[in-house]
Amino acid sequence: MQSISAVIYDLDGTLLDTEPLYVEVTSSILSRFGHTLPPEVRARMIGRPNLVSARILVDALGLPMTPEAFLDERESRLAELFPRAAAMPGARTLTMHLSKHHVPQAIATSSTRQGLDLKTTRHREWFASFAALVTREDIVNGKPAPDIFLHAAMLMGVAPDACLVFEDAPSGVDAALAAGMSVVAVPEPAYTSLVRHAHRVLPTLEAFDPREWGLPGFAA
């Protein structure tokens, strides 16, 4: 394995369990029009900037609303739900372990800065341990372009090929690979086949062994 000196994490579905909240609100909106959320459409939406994912949904289902109108309604409802977001299994343990060993870590999320703030309401102390918090608003091109990961690496002062990325979404895996970084995918079970091109695919962060990447082991 490539020897790693810094780690970058996606947020939604990787560190925080927010994906069920997105599904809940999106399904509620779609039900008004007699639609459900097709898994293949959701797979194309996950990890992308909000407006891009909204366009995919509206176009795929032929919804009688603009992507902007969909987002306005969705984001208003999500703002009430995000503060209850819980940590994904193993997320806090891994990140705090690496922080203890002074490994630089960053967040690279397609969320807005406001969305990031809402999602981390219950986790202020935890997220204060990251060296950089990069959002969609900090770069020009969102995932699957590599920009967000390259920007995070730059802020940490680390070369891209020395970074390890954790992602749950196909577009995020594509972005990290395009940035020249190593990638560990932790997808939802239904989407495992879509992230096989990552360097490693794990069921959860709990299955990650830092020593395989030259990072301090949990017994260290």
- pLDDT tens per residue across span 87-100: 999 999 999 999 99
Task: Give residue 57's pLDDT.
Answer: 97
Residues above pLDDT 90, as percent of the chain:
95
Task: Give residue 219's pLDDT.
Answer: 81
How far is Cα 76 from Cα 209, in angstroms, rounded to an integer? 39
Q: Catalytic: which of 10, 147, 168, 174?
A: 10
Q: Mean per-residue pLDDT for 42-69?
A: 93
Crossing angle for the helix pair 67-81 and 50-61, nearest 10 degrees? 120
Q: How confident is the model at residue 137 (pLDDT cuts 50, 70, 90)?
A: very high
- pLDDT tens per residue across span 166-217: 999 999 999 999 999 999 999 999 899 999 999 999 999 999 999 999 999 9
Task: Give residue 46's pLDDT.
Answer: 87
Helix/strand/coil for 205: helix
- Retrieve residue 31's tokens: 């039900």
What are the beta bridge partners of residue 107? Answer: 9, 133
Q: Mean per-residue pLDDT for 46-62?
A: 93
- In 3D space, the residue among 53, 44, 52 whose CA is nearest the CA of residue 25 turns out to be 53
How far is Cα 57 from Cα 51, in angstroms, rounded to an integer? 10
Residue 220 has pLDDT above 60, yes or no: no
Residue 65: phi and psi, rounded to 5, are -155, 155
Vertex 18 angle, CA 15 and 24, to 5°: 165
Helix/strand/coil for 46: coil
Task: Give residue 1's pLDDT.
Answer: 62
What are the beta bridge partners of residue 101? Answer: none
Domain positions in the chain: 6-17+85-213, 19-83
Residue 76 has pLDDT above 80, yes or no: yes
Fold type of domain 6-17+85-213: Rossmann fold (3.40.50)
The pTM (predicted TM-score) of the whole model is 0.90
12 tagged catalytic: yes
Q: Could you confirm whether domain 19-83 is CATH 3.90.870.40?
A: no
How far is Cα 131 from Cα 120, in angstroms, rounded to an integer? 16
Longest dimension (CA), the chain: 57
147 tagged catalytic: no
Q: Mean per-residue pLDDT for 26-33?
A: 96
